[in-house]
Amino acid sequence: MKRRFKADRFLVQRMGISLIALAAILTVVPIIGLFGYIIAKGAPAISWEFLTTMPSNGMRAGGILPAIVGTFYLTLGTAVLSVPLGIAAAIYLAEYAKENWVTRLIRIAIINLAGIPSVVYGLFGLGLFVLFLKFGTSILSASLTLSIMTLPVIISAAEEALRAVPQSFRTVSISLGGTRWQTIRKIILPQALPGIMTGVILGLERAAGETAPILFTGAAFFLPRLPGSPLDATMALPYHLFVISTQVPEMPIQIQYGTALVLIVFVLGMNLIATFIRSRARAKRQW
């Protein structure tokens, strides 16, 4: 009787752990396969010409330069607003805010901003920037929309980085006659910078890959020239991939895979940079 009970116990254990391992394998293997597949299929399409020329023949030939440049501009434009605003907000939360209902309200707002569907950001951008402020369908409108979407990511990451700086540095700096802002500028910010940068890049990475928020705010279906001002509409890699994989008949499959690969490299390249900054900063850290 006792022996059977024991055997059952271990049978259950073996089955349970096998199931969990199976779930993990079924999750991880497709991810590896996915990356491998896109690289294998997309690499043959990549050439200097593909990266540096305009699309031709209704996008069925030529390169994807305007989409690459457009995504670059959009990412840059997003950074211009969201980085200073996000870091300042994080400084407020980490260094100035007291624990009261206003602060709780701000935190709830940040969590909610992070959860709002990207297409709703698109609607908001259309309503506020494109129509109400009359920026039109433009890089400016799209960047502003993406900025607000990116803001919660940057705030959360930067706040965490600021809080990770030991409290004792603040106490010492204040005790030596530093003001609060001097302490932040000379000690806290430099020490938190790698962490903040990592968060900023991860936030911008998300912005670079988004399609829905730019659909009605700045993305152009086909525009065989580079945007000349922030008030021009622009092509962008994610939207371009959407267009050529669903809207253009008889699209050569190779160009589609090539575009997907360029987009992934663009986005995951940023991810790689962030990881690199983080690990280097950890090795150099003096606390």
Site for other proteins in 170-209 (CB under 8 A): 170-182, 186-187, 191, 202, 205-206, 208-209
CA–CA separation, 223 and 96 (whole Å) = 47
Q: Which is nearer to other proteins, 53 or 275 (CB)?
A: 275
Comparing CA positions, the residue from 147, 53, 117, 202 lying closest to residue 139 is: 147
Helix (H, G, I), strand (E, B) or coil at 216: coil
Closest to 60 in 3D by CA, of 254, 262, 215, 278: 254
Q: Three-state SS for 55?
A: strand
Question: Based on CB atoms, which residue is closest to other proteins, 228 or 277?
Answer: 277
Indicate whether 135 belongs to the interface with other proteins (CB under 8 A): no
Q: Single out the residue of 66, 70, 77, 122 in contact with other proteins (rule: CB under 8 A).
A: 122
Minimal distance, residue 68 CB to other proteins, in Å: 14
Shortest Å, Cβ 260 to other proteins: 5
Taking the alpha carbons of 154, 160, 165, 167 in that order, is the dihedral positive or negative?
positive
In whole angstroms, how close is the CB of 275 to other proteins at the nearest point?
7
Between residue 33 and residue 72, which ones bind other proteins under the rule CB under 8 A?
Answer: 34-35, 37-38
Q: Does 1 bind other proteins (CB under 8 A)?
A: no
Residues in region 240-259 near other proteins by CB under 8 A: 241-242, 245-246, 253, 256
- In terms of Cβ atoms closer than 10 Å to its own Cβ (0-12, 13-18, 19+), residue 71 is buried
Half-sphere exposure of 193 (CA within 13 A, CB side): 11
Least spacing, CB of residue 159 vs other proteins, in Å? 10
- Taking CB under 8 A as the binding criterion, the range among 7-15, 46-54, 56-64, 222-230 that sits at the site for other proteins is 7-15
Nearer to other proteins, 105 or 228 (CB): 105
- Contact between residue 122 and residue 217 where contact means Cβ atoms under 8 Å apart: yes
Residue nearer to other proteins on the CB measure, 97 or 231: 97
Q: What phi, psi does 61 have (nearest 5°)?
A: -145, 180
Closest CB to other proteins among residues 21, 61: 21
Span from 44-52, 54-62, 151-159, 223-231 in contact with other proteins (CB under 8 A): 151-159
| Number of residues near other proteins (by CB under 8 A) | 108
Q: Which of 5, 26, 228, 283 binds other proteins (CB under 8 A)?
A: 26
Minimum separation from the CB atom of position 109 to other proteins (A): 4
Distance CA(189)–CA(195), nearest Å, equals 10
**Start-to-end CA span in the chain (Å):** 58
Single out the residue of 210, 220, 227, 277 in contact with other proteins (rule: CB under 8 A).
Answer: 210
Query: Which helix (H) or strand (E) is 63 found in, with range?
Result: none
Does residue 220 come out as left (phi exceeding 0), alpha (psi in the -120 to 50 range) or beta?
A: beta
* DSSP one-letter code for 207: H
**CB neighbour class for 239 (10 Å; exposed up to 12, middle 13-18, buried from 19):** buried
235 interacts with other proteins by CB under 8 A: no
